[in-house]
Amino acid sequence: MADITKQQIGAFLGKQGILIAFFAFLIGFTIANPKFLTPDNVLSVIRSSAILGVMALGVTFVVISGNLDLSVGSMMSFSTIVVLDLHDKIGPALAIPAMFAMTLALGAFIGFLVGRLKLNSLIVTLGMLSAIHGLTLTYSGGKNMDIADKEGTWFSVFGQGEALGLPVPILMFVAVAAFLGLVLSKTSFGRKVYAVGGNSTAATFSGIPRARTVFICYLISAACAATAGLIQASRSLGSQNTVGQGLELEVLAAVILGGASLLGGSGTIFKTVIGVLILGFIQNGLLLIGLQFYVQFIVTWVIIILAVWLDIAAKRGKLWSQIA
Amino acid sequence: MKLRTTLIASTAIVLAGAASAETMKIGITQNNVGVDSYQTTYERAFIAAAEENADVDAVVLDAGGDVARQIAQIEDLIQQDVDAIIIWPTNGEAVIPAVRKAHQAGIPVVVTNSNIAEAGFDFVNSFSGPDNITQGARSAEIMCDKFKDMGIESEAQVVHITGQPGYTTAIERAKGFEDRLPEVCPDVTIVDTQPGDWNREKSQQVMEAFLVKYADIDGVYAGDDNMGVGALNAAKAAGREGIIFVGATNFAVGYEAMAAGDYWGSIYQSPVDDAEAALQTALDILAGEELPFLNYFDTPKITQDNMGDYTKPVF
């Protein structure tokens, strides 16, 4: 009986190593600065992380399907600028669906290139990273985009509003995570995503439509980038063209930190959420500790490596492998 | 057919006329037009100023943020034998060899907006741009004066949000502010400094952490208005009132926040002045005038009190 319990604990630890690492950091930062775990701070970190988080949810699908999406940062800038521009031209009620349609078209284009034409996703999305940035700059003429009447628009609800006592960005993050979590774990489409990423050839011979599955993964990723852009635009009601620049790597870091394999076939929405929160809390924790910022870059790297190590150590039940 | 011939003939006359007058061919290679509103407006203003002056024939180029492209553009301009080259460096170190080439070819070089590294000063005739150390110092004075008005100059606590670490502009503004503040307000303390990377969203996150960490914040100095407004958004969301926000490079959003009474002051730096100063510096050099090596254009203080004297920035 005792043995079984021990095994069960071992299995749990092995599965949830990243969660353990997460709680270890929370405790560490709280000891360093007791204000770290106050409700205000926790809510503000999760709210800030929601933008990165929503993007990471979509990229999780792409990564599990065995591909990459480096275009999400540019895509988020694009949707932010477009929705802000259209807000004053056609009103928020029309601007939001128009922005989603335009961003989804970009996602569909990438999905077509990677899914149907079978082009390498790294090259395609790296190219789209700069192409979409160029598109955004062309669209805006290089100008910052700002909503004229910042006080009198209901558009601010997505980024600044509250419902059920929680900031709306958090609620949106949770809702999208719950929905996509269900899609990934409970639907046949979700199983197809794992199958295509795990072994594309075997999936094809089993009658799984690889091209369509990959295509839909990129649509999901684009929809998530558009949602992130919506939150971003609503949060500051104005934006630079470069607002999402560099986020693609943070997004990818969060997804990989959560345990999804770059080779495809593994990963879950829940673990991506943990990966996102780890990144968000590290950034905030280092600020609260007040480390000099030049040092912060290095410490961030150390913490990420520690997290990955703890995750792997938990999986094999030992801190280091005997057959290294 | 006849019409066309006439047209060609008259064009030729115009060209010949232009060539016989003292036309000065001035080439400019810019850093990265279109990446932000400042640079976009700068380019427009430069072209407008060049067109207004009948004696100027401008070759306007943009390096797109790429050092290699900028070096190639400088070499092209040397080949075209322009009368002067204006450079907005993409990188203060890497352009030096190309600048030296222009210098050796006998073409005067003006550096605009952001200076190149000191090793290249011998090859440059003049630097035309804002004095970022003075800007930082002026922001400190704006903040100190306001604290004195409020009677809190003996106890006020300030947080400082800087531009991207490693950028000359960020370093100089921070230095100007941090050196000047203790001179004018010796009892005000800067409790924390963190970078906002010129990014509104990043700055908002930094300010959120500051608000959690410090129960008492009286002033925020941000390296530009974009970041200042990000910090303001964070304070508003947290319901913290009475904080004095001071920025630099007055942006339209900063100007509006000032008009709304939420944002106290900034430094008025016009890309139009910047562009016109660069062209004028080049023309003055060609006219044989003696110029200071650091030929700064003025960037005045702007606060809620005197903002009526300035038009809203277009960027």
SS3 B128: strand
Q: pTM score, two decimals?
A: 0.79
User: Tell me, what's the pLDDT at A89?
Assistant: 92
In 3D, which of B247, B173, B249, B170 has the Cα closest to residue B207? B247
pLDDT for B8 beyond 60: no
Distance, in Å, from the CA atom of A199 to the CA atom of A64, rounded to the nearest integer, reads 11
Distance, in Å, from the CA atom of A230 to the CA atom of A77, rounded to the nearest integer, reads 10
User: Tell me, what's the pLDDT at A13?
Assistant: 66
Residues of A in contact with B232 (CB under 8 A): none
pLDDT for A28 beyond 50: yes
Lowest mean pLDDT among A109-118, A142-151, A192-201, B96-105: A142-151
Q: Which two tokens stand for residue B94?
A: 């890497």
Nearest chain A residue (CA) to B34: A142
Calculate the average pLDDT of chain A.
89
Please give the CATH architecture assigned to the domain spanning B2-130+272-297.
3-Layer(aba) Sandwich (3.40)
Per-residue pLDDT, averaged over A27-53, amounts to: 89
Please give the torsion angle defined by the CA atoms of residues A108, A109, A111 and A116, in that order, rounded to the nearest 10 degrees. Answer: 120
User: Tell me, what's the pLDDT at A3?
Assistant: 58
Q: Which residue has the higher pLDDT, B85 or B33?
A: B85
Which of B31, B33, B37 is the mutation pick for testing A, counting most A CBs within 10 A? Answer: B37
Please check whether residue A219 is in contact with residue A107, taking contact to mean a CB–CB distance below 8 angstroms.
Answer: yes
C-alpha B272: how far from chain center = 10
Per-residue pLDDT, averaged over A253-259, amounts to: 87
pLDDT digits over A224-233, tens only?
A: 999 999 999 9
Residues of A in contact with B230 (CB under 8 A): 236
Number of domains in chain A: 1
- B161 pLDDT tier (thresholds 50, 70, 90): very high
Structural domain containing residue A51: 18-316
In 3D, which of A293, A249, A230 has the Cα closest to residue A96? A230
Share of chain B above pLDDT 70, in %: 93
User: Tell me, what's the pLDDT at A192?
Assistant: 95
Distance, in Å, from the CA atom of B205 to the CA atom of B57, rounded to the nearest integer, reads 47
Lowest mean pLDDT among A141-145, A201-205, A210-214, B53-57: A141-145
- Answer whether residue A12 is part of any domain: no
Residues of A in contact with B212 (CB under 8 A): 35, 38, 40-41, 44, 288
- B117 pLDDT tier (thresholds 50, 70, 90): confident
- Answer whether residue A7 is part of any domain: no
Query: Would an 8 Å CB–CB cutoff place B174 in contact with chain A?
Result: no
Q: State the helix-helix crossing angle for B168-184 and B132-150, rounded to 10 degrees.
A: 40
User: Tell me, what's the pLDDT at B12?
Assistant: 41
Record: contact A232-B201, CB cut-off 8 A: yes
User: Tell me, what's the pLDDT at A324?
Assistant: 57
Question: Backbone phi, then psi, for B294, in 5-degree steps?
Answer: -95, 95
pLDDT digits over B270-311, tens only?
A: 899 999 999 999 999 999 998 899 999 999 999 999 999 998
Per-residue pLDDT, averaged over A287-310, amounts to: 81
Q: Which two tokens stand for residue B28?
A: 């400019």
Nearest chain A residue (CA) to B207: A287
Instruction: Tell me the domain boundaries of chain B.
Output: 2-130+272-297, 132-268
Residues of A in contact with B252 (CB under 8 A): 144, 146
pLDDT for A286 beyond 60: yes
Residue B195 carries which DSSP code? Answer: E
Nearest chain B residue (CA) to A39: B212
- Answer whether residue A239 is part of any domain: yes
User: Tell me, what's the pLDDT at B307?
Assistant: 93
Distance, in Å, from the CA atom of A181 to the CA atom of B115, rounded to the nearest integer, reads 52
Record: contact A44-B212, CB cut-off 8 A: yes
- B105 pLDDT tier (thresholds 50, 70, 90): very high
Burial class, A99, CB count within 10 angstroms (exposed 0-12 / middle 13-18 / buried 19+): buried
Q: Domain B132-268 maps to which CATH number in 3.30.930.10, 1.10.3720.10, 3.40.50.1100, 3.40.50.2300?
A: 3.40.50.2300
pLDDT digits over A42-67, tens only?
A: 988 898 899 999 999 999 999 999 99
- Answer whether residue A4 is part of any domain: no
Please give the torsion angle defined by the CA atoms of residues B224, B230, B236 and B242, in that order, rounded to the nearest 10 degrees. Answer: -20
- Answer whether residue A8 is part of any domain: no
- A316 pLDDT tier (thresholds 50, 70, 90): confident
Per-residue pLDDT, averaged over A206-227, amounts to: 95
Q: Bridge partners of B190?
A: B158
